[in-house]
Amino acid sequence: MPRRPSLYTIAPTRPFVDVLAAGLLAAYGTDPLRLADVTVLLPTRRAGRLLREAFLRQGGGRALLLPRMMPLGDVDEDDLSLSDGAAPGEGVEDLPPAIPGLRRQLLLAQLIQARPLRPDGTRPTPEIAARLARDLAGLMDRVQTERLSFDRLTELVPDRYAEHWRTTVEFLSIVTDVWPSLLEAEGMMDPADRRDRLMTAQAEAWRHSPPDSPVIAAGSTGSIPATADLMAVVAGLPQGAVVLPGLDRTMDADSWAALDWTHPQFGLRRLLERLGVEREAVADWPDAIPATDTATAPADRARLLTEAMRPAPTAHAWHGAPALPAATLDGVTRITCPGPREEAETIALMMRETLETPGRTAALVTFDRTLARRVAAALGRWGLTVDDSAGQPLALTPPGTVLRLLAAAAASDLAPGPLLDLLRHPLVTAGRDAGLFRRQVRRFECAVLRGPRHAGGFEGLRRAAFKAEFAEDSGPLRLIARLEGCMGAFLAGMQGPEVPLTALVKAHMEAAEALAETDTEPGPLRLWAGPAGEAAATFAAELADAADGLPPMAPRHYPGVLDALLAGHVVRTPPGMGHPRLAILGPLEARVWHADRMILGGLNEGSWPPAVEADPWMSRPMQAAFGLPPPEQRIGLSAHDFTQALGAPEVALTRAARVEGTPTVPSRWLLRLDAVTAATGLGDAWAAAAHGPWLAWTGHLRAVTPTEPVPPPAPTPPVEARPTRLSVTRIETWRRDPYGIYARYVLGLEKLADLDQPLDMRDFGMLVHAALEGFRVRWPGPLPPDPERELLAIGEEEFGETLADAHAAAFWWPRFERTAAWIVAQEQRRADTLDRVSVECSGRMTLSGTDRPFTLTGTADRIERRTDGTLVLVDHKTGIPPSKTEVSAGYAPQLPLEAAMVAAGAFADLPAAPVSGLEYWRLKGNRDAPGEIRSVADDPTTLAAEALAGLTALVNLYARPETPYPARPVPDKAPRYSDYEHLARVAEWATAVDEEGGG
């Protein structure tokens, strides 16, 4: 007669690995060799480490020969025949190796690209194909894990499904038609298929030849069929046992029968049905830990969890549920934080506070990887490093980011933005001392990368360096030469039409190593150092092997393909590097371990439980028809993990009320607890659990000493430091924003040009001014026979390479053509009254009657000498000119001051003469109104005299040492734009000034 399966469970209110270790020590610990013969199968490798630590705790720190611990989901040939004399199973030795993940992803991407993915024949780009290949590999793993066959694809899409799903399923025929032969040619097999066969072989080996030593399968719910089969065999072994995590044996029969995929007990019920065992036949694992040796959650906590997780068909029983004592929620805290940052800081504070008690441990359990990273960063405030079981994405580590930045810079042909991002990376030193290299990069940035984009490539960088203001400085040129030596081969490869991926990868890694070199340390030693560097080196080697033999690809797709291949690769903290009493766990690891303080973070819908994402390859009905478990299976598993963690003696439940400004929805299990606690008399205790001090303490950490709003800046530099020479255009700034004059001419600060500066309306205005200047320089007197044609020809010369820009060619040139026609019309209309036209006339005048010498300079756009001997001053504006009111009030004094200079003979080659007109020509270039002439002075002579007197008074005012240079003294008259607004901290004080009536 077959042996009755040996099944046990450990309640969620007990620490799983500690109870398991204590039970094994009680049964086998008297003989050290006997304990070493025991084999324990666990869900993950991390669970194995946790069990080892539990043995140390339960063994009192004495030396032990520990059992052999093996992760169920990561079996290989070395794990077969775990007991003496067990045959590994027929044919196992001949199984091909599993195909490496990157090789499989690239081969699948190649197949995906080879076939149209849409009815219109569209084929995906390489980067999209690489991402789809990762999803397809995941689907293949799921199908093989569930022991299904893709042969049923042809039956999958009846006529009622949308046409694109039919196309997708036809596309999936590559899995049945092409992939098997491709795998055979590679001499490999799919990893999920191989794992299934190995586990099946192990089960068969144990079934036919039971091991002579104990085998314990613990902590798994058997959600994978091969795992469930192996657990079934273990349960039937003479010395075998299966220990289930948190089986609910108190649930009523109606609820047990009504369980669905989303229930935490559904997976365990399926496992028991597969094993043919009734729930009542499962015993408690011998709990050899004295109650005084470990903190335990109240026994009624398990009853609360049973009620909270009732399936919908029996949820009406809440109304008749017996009352639970308030002590049920002892140790439970719930915290709703304003946002994710506050949640992370609060969790970090709770973990840090735990360390105040010697020996106490704390763990964050979350699905939210962003929250986990924020908590790890927040713990850095106290110099703490935490072990995160999920690891850090390789793409976000220093080696991963430098590889991505290098690929992006090369693909952009060294565009300023991507190139500067690369050069600023801490690992990039290009063979120089790090400090020296950073200084060189700053000079290179200012000299070469800022301003209009260069032509591209190293040659474009060199031309930009020669054009720079301090081109005599050879530093930028030397840096360009050094960079070309490091990454020139990679850049050249990235410019080809199609290049083998192996060649790109080789050149890429060589360039990265060269860039990482310092003057004292080889590049490979820096780039591949530490856990992240080792993971990146492994990735690079695997990628080089995986790319072998693949067809060439267009290099422009390489950065996207690299990102798709990096996705899913993580760097885990090596054991012992994190704080020994702190951990960040995934829910799977937390299933088998209770820290003294468990913090369940990110308890919002879409985070815990995770959102059910649509599969790009199969719709939900198609998955059901195919036989795959529904996506809700993940919800049930995460529900089980939630109940396991909530069974800890001290638990904090945290969530963010808003994420990126959007209100969040609490996790469904929090909402269930809201309802059940009210129904079981725990409403007050549940409400009290939300009134802890943690949020207030977090606020104190972030609190700053209240300060009064700063007043507007009003510096008073020494008189000798104040400017004694300004242009007429700067006088307007002096009137509207004296602080701007202080910053520019006293402090000597100039705004840097924008990085990769695009063409803007200032460039258009400069081009128009240059064309009009060239026209009148060539024809200062009478107009040529065809003036419009002549002006357009000069304009074409001035626009030059700018017309290579699509926007300039499509919008600016037609606008200039309309402007040119309008200008010529004005010239012809005035021709009979004009004697001569002077353009871009420069002049200077020393003011009289000032306490300090002061020189006024100016350049007039256009000065017309009329036949009556008077002058008309014209200023060209492609933007909005100032109003007549602003001019007369002195806030736009350019033209009046130029008139005063003309009257004083301050312009060379232009004798003094009376001014009869001051005009702004607004050059709009619109179809309906290409231009507009706006006269701003009825009496130019008087206006010029008033402007000069006003300037003299202004100069004398600022000749006094006590006169400050205030920022925006009259807010309504402040300039529309200032380069020094941030320096003046306008946003910090402007509102307060406005509220006080300052504007």
| Tokens at 923, concatenated | 């050059």
What number is the average pLDDT over the span 266-285? 92
Q: Which of 522, 550, 571 lies at the terminal end of a domain, its last residue?
A: 571
Q: Can you give the CATH number for the domain in which 625 is found?
A: 3.40.50.300
Name the band, by pLDDT with cuts 50, 70 and 90, for residue 295: low
**Chain segment 420-467, per-residue pLDDT in tens:** 999 999 999 999 999 999 999 999 998 888 887 777 889 988 888 887
Look at residue 166 in the predicted model and tell me its pLDDT: 65
pLDDT number for residue 625: 78
Partners of 261 in the β-ladder:
none
Last residue of some domain: 527, 556, 571? 571
pLDDT at 955 over 50: yes
885 and 742 within one domain: yes
Q: What DSSP letter does each residue of 196-232 carry, written as one string?
A: HHHHHHHHHHHHHS--SS-EEEES----SHHHHHHHH
Q: Residue 862 belongs to what H/E stretch?
A: strand 855-866
Instruction: Place 873 in a pLDDT band, splitting at 50, 70 and 90.
Output: very high
pLDDT tens digits, residue range 148-187?
A: 888 777 666 555 555 666 667 777 777 878 888 999 999 9
Q: Are residues 885 and 808 in the same domain?
A: yes
- The whole-number average pLDDT for the span 991-997 is 54
Segment 757-772 shows an average pLDDT of 85
Separation in Å, CA 833 to CA 875, 919, 933: 19, 16, 17
- In this structure, is residue 999 part of a structural domain? no
Residue 511 pLDDT > 90: yes
- CA 189, chain centre distance (Å): 35
Q: Is residue 987 part of a domain?
A: no
Q: Quick: pLDDT tens for 775-817.
A: 888 888 888 889 889 989 998 888 887 887 787 888 889 998 9
Which tokens hold the place of 155?
């039956």
Report residue 468's pLDDT band, with 50, 70 and 90 as the boundaries. low
Token code pair at residue 89: 């199973």
Rounded CA separation 69/41 (Å): 6
How many structural domains is the chain composed of?
5
Instruction: Give residue-wise pLDDT tens across range 895-928.
Output: 999 999 999 999 988 888 899 999 999 998 888 8
What's the distance, CA 32 to chain centroid? 51
pLDDT in tens, 352-403: 999 999 989 999 999 999 999 999 999 999 999 998 888 889 999 999 999 9
For the chain, percent of residues with pLDDT exceeding 90: 48
Q: Which of 290-304, 333-347, 839-853, 948-962 has the lowest mean pLDDT?
A: 290-304
Position 296 pLDDT exceeds 80: no
Helix (H, G, I), strand (E, B) or coil at 541: helix
379 within domain boundaries: yes
DSSP 273-290: HHHT--GGGPEEPP--S-
Contact between residue 77 and residue 101 where contact means Cβ atoms under 8 Å apart: no
Provide the whole-model pTM: 0.85
pLDDT at residue 83 in the model:
43
Q: How far apart are CA 399 and CA 536, in angstroms?
A: 6
504 and 616 assigned to the same domain: no
Determine the distance from the C-alpha atom of residue 468 to the mean position of all C-alpha atoms in its chain, rounded to a whole number. Answer: 34
In three-state secondary structure terms, 607 is strand
- pLDDT computed for residue 373 by the predictor: 92
Q: Is residue 252 in a domain?
A: yes
Report, in this order, helix, strand and coil percent for the chain, each rounded to 5.
50, 10, 35
Q: Residue 995 domain-assigned?
A: no
User: Any idea which of 189-198, 275-284, 625-634 has the lowest mean pLDDT?
Assistant: 625-634
Looking at residue 429, its amino acid is: T
* Domain finish residue from 571, 596, 620: 571
Tell me, yes or no, whether 121 lies in a domain: yes
Q: Are residues 374 and 361 in the same domain?
A: yes
Domain that holds residue 149: 101-188
- Tens digit of pLDDT for each residue in 654-693? 999 999 889 999 999 999 999 999 888 888 999 988 888 9
Same domain assignment for residues 817 and 784: yes
697/732 same-domain check: no
The verdict on 266 and 126 lying in the same domain is: no
What mean pLDDT, rounded, does the chain reach? 87
Q: Is the pLDDT of residue 84 over 70?
A: no
Higher pLDDT, 318 or 847: 847
In a domain, 505, yes or no: yes
pLDDT, position 85: 42
Q: CB 613: neighbour CB atoms within 10 A?
A: 9
In one-letter notation, the amino acid at residue 389 is S
Beta strands in 924-996 (DSSP E): 931-935
Q: How far apart are CA 179 and CA 136, in angstroms?
A: 12
CA gap 122, 101 in Å, rounded: 27
**Which of 69-73, 226-230, 642-646 has the weakest average pLDDT?**
69-73
Structure confidence at residue 616 as a pLDDT band (50, 70, 90): confident
Matching residue, tokens 């092997």: 545
Q: What is the pLDDT of residue 1?
A: 36
Residue 985 lies in a domain: no
Instruction: List CB contacts of 86: < 8 A, sequence separation 6 or more.
Output: 80, 205, 206, 209, 210, 211
| CATH number for position 203 | 3.40.50
Q: 312 and 281, same structural domain?
A: no
Residue 125, pLDDT > 50, answer: yes
Q: Are 237 and 217 in contact (CB under 8 A)?
A: no
Q: How far apart are CA 599 and CA 343, in angstroms?
A: 11
Choose the most confident range, by mean pLDDT, from 9-13, 48-52, 720-724. 720-724
- Tell whether the model's pLDDT for residue 138 goes beyond 70: yes
pLDDT of residue 86: 45
Give the least confident one: 276-280, 300-304, 377-381, 753-757.
753-757
Residue 161 backbone phi and psi in degrees, to 5: -80, 155
Q: How far is CA 935 from CA 42, 666, 942, in A?
A: 88, 66, 15
Q: 114 with 145, same domain? A: yes
Lowest mean pLDDT segment, chosen from 278-292, 332-346, 438-452, 552-566: 278-292
Q: Are 495 and 595 in a shared domain?
A: no
Element (H, E) at 341: helix 340-354
d(CA 34, CA 43): 23
945, 820: one domain:
yes
Section 338-359 average pLDDT: 95
**pLDDT reading at 733 higher than 90:** yes
Task: Give the whole-number percent of the chain exceeding pLDDT 70.
Answer: 93
Q: Are residues 547 and 399 in the same domain?
A: yes
pLDDT at 87: 47
pLDDT of residue 487: 93
CATH of the domain at 817: 3.90.320.10
